[in-house]
């Protein structure tokens, strides 16, 4: 298929598992099963080279260090291939895709992350079509960014979130159009795709040295719970607020606590618990106190993108005030300006 050569990186996940008495576990010969599957497609696929991790990562166990390892592997092989397909578990696929987009800024070829809800060798597996289509899209010459392909949808990687544990259409991008819809033919949304950059701007700092924690507000949540989390001395906290960015402000101790954390150098970012729309923390009086406390509203970024971006910005060595400013600066199409 048009002479393209794709680097296929198998990191782990359901796609490469098989059922055992103890539940799903990595299959013994994933490379053989993959070769047998892809050989049956004839000449419809580009040439690929498989790079399989010797110890597959269960994506529920994936860490920022794992994101960095995958990004480093792509960067190290960047000149060897025309594009990349990364096979990954679905649980934290959106986090990894977002992190890759921040490490691999200015991509001039595709990095498509995919996987499956049902293992490759199981009946009714969604793995074959996800994998085959991801390879074809990677060879299309139309994509210059990190994307997630799943169940006929090509999505921007840092706009993606997992919405279902049971549907084969597990992922979507609530605040950004799909990059392509794939039926009999692939229909690209040209206006939604990132343009090809003039040059790559890769940033691959060491991840894993910083602590980013979430606080999800719920009715009746004691202020002591927030205090206990802040006592862990995180470098950044993502506040999952109600609606457009409201937080309980009846007890002034909460806002005072956030203000002290901000002054101590903790980066505080607010997102909405609702998947659609932007957070605007000054919309209601119940959120105005957070602005005074130094909380930054993260616009329409997904929770996964905020977490990954905070890890990335902190890893680059920026001081807290610069991280707050850079959080709202677009790096790879992750937010609406």
pLDDT score recorded for residue 21: 74
CA distance 166 to 164: 6
Contacts of 162 (CB under 8 A, 6+ apart): 90, 91, 93, 94, 170, 171
Topology of domain 5-202, CATH = Rossmann fold (3.40.50)
Question: pTM score, two decimals?
Answer: 0.96
Tens of pLDDT, residues 112-146: 999 999 999 888 999 999 999 999 999 999 999 99
CA distance 126 to 150: 9
Tens of pLDDT, residues 16-66: 988 777 777 788 788 898 888 888 776 689 999 999 999 999 999 999 999
Query: Which among 192, 235, 227 is positioned nearest to 210, based on CA atoms?
Result: 235
Residue 211 confidence (pLDDT) above 60: yes
Within 10 A of 106 (CB to CB), how many other CB atoms are there?
17
What residues are labeled active site?
14
Q: Which residues are bridge partners to 239 per DSSP?
A: 215, 270
What are the extents of the domains in the chain? 5-202, 212-327
Query: Which among 134, 165, 159 is positioned nearest to 276, based on CA atoms?
Result: 159
| Residue range 280-299: mean pLDDT, rounded | 85
SS (H, E, C) the chain: CCCCEEEEEECCCHHHEEEECCEEEECCCHHHHHHHHHHCCCCCCCEEEEEECCCCCCHHHCCHHHHHHHHHHHHHCHHHCCEEEEECCCCCHHHHHHHHHHHEECCCCCEEEECCCCCCCCCCCCHHHHHHHHHHHHCCCCCCCEEEEECCEEEEHHHCEECCCCCCCCEECCCCCCCEEECCCEEECCCCCCCCCCCCEECCCCCCCCCEEEEECCCCCCHHHHHHHHCCCCCEEEEEEECCCECCCCCHHHHHHHHHHHHCCCEEEEEECCCCCCCCCCCCHHHHHHHHCCCEECCCCCHHHHHHHHHHHHHCCCCHHHHHHHHCCCCCCCCCC
Min mean pLDDT across 184-198, 215-229, 268-282 is at 268-282
pLDDT score recorded for residue 286: 65
CA distance 218 to 229: 15
Tell me whether the CATH fold assigned to 5-202 matches the one assigned to 212-327.
yes
Min mean pLDDT across 19-28, 66-75, 265-274 is at 19-28
Tell which CATH architecture fits domain 212-327. 3-Layer(aba) Sandwich (3.40)
Q: Which residues are bridge partners to 180 per DSSP?
A: 154, 188
pLDDT score recorded for residue 1: 54
For residue 21, what are the CA distances in angstroms to 17, 18, 57, 323?
13, 10, 20, 47
% residues pLDDT > 90 (the chain): 83
pLDDT score recorded for residue 20: 76
Contacts of 282 (CB under 8 A, 6+ apart): 245, 288, 291, 297
């Amino acid at each position: 298929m048009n002479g393209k050569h794709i680097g296929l990186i198998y990191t782990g996940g359901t796609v490469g598992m098989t059922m055992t008495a103890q539940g799903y576990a990595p299959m013994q010969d994933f490379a053989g099963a993959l070769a047998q599957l892809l050989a049956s497609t004839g000449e419809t696929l580009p040439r690929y080279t498989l790079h399989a991790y010797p110890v597959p990562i269960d994506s529920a166990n994936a860490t920022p260090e794992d994101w960095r390892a995958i990004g480093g592997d792509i960067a190290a092989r960047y000149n060897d291939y025309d594009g990349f397909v990364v096979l990954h578990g679905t649980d934290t696929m959106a986090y990894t895709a977002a992190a890759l987009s921040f490490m691999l800024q200015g991509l001039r070829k595709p990095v498509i992350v995919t996987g499956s809800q049902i293992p490759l060798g199981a009946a009714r597996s969604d793995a074959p079509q996800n994998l085959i289509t991801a390879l074809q899209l990677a060879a299309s010459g139309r994509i210059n960014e990190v994307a997630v392909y799943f169940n006929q949808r090509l999505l921007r990687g840092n706009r993606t979130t997992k919405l279902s544990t049971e549907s084969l259409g597990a992922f979507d991008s609530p605040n950004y159009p799909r990059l392509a819809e794939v039926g009999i033919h692939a229909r690209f949304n040209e206006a939604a795709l990132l343009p090809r950059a003039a040059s790559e701007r890769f940033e691959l700092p060491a991840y894993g040295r910083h602590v980013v924690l979430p606080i999800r507000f719920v009715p009746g949540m004691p202020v002591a719970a927030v205090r206990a989390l802040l006592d862990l001395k995180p470098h950044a906290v993502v506040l999952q607020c109600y609606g457009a960015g409201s937080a309980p402000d009846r007890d002034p101790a909460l806002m005072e606590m956030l203000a002290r954390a901000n002054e101590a150098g903790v980066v505080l970012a607010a997102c909405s618990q609702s998947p659609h729309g932007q957070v605007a923390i000054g919309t209601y009086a119940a959120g105005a106190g957070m602005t005074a406390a130094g909380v930054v509203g993260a616009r329409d970024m997904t929770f996964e993108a905020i977490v990954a971006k905070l890890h990335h910005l902190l890893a680059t060595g920026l001081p807290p005030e610069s991280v707050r400013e850079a959080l709202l600066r677009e790096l790879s199409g992750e937010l609406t300006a």
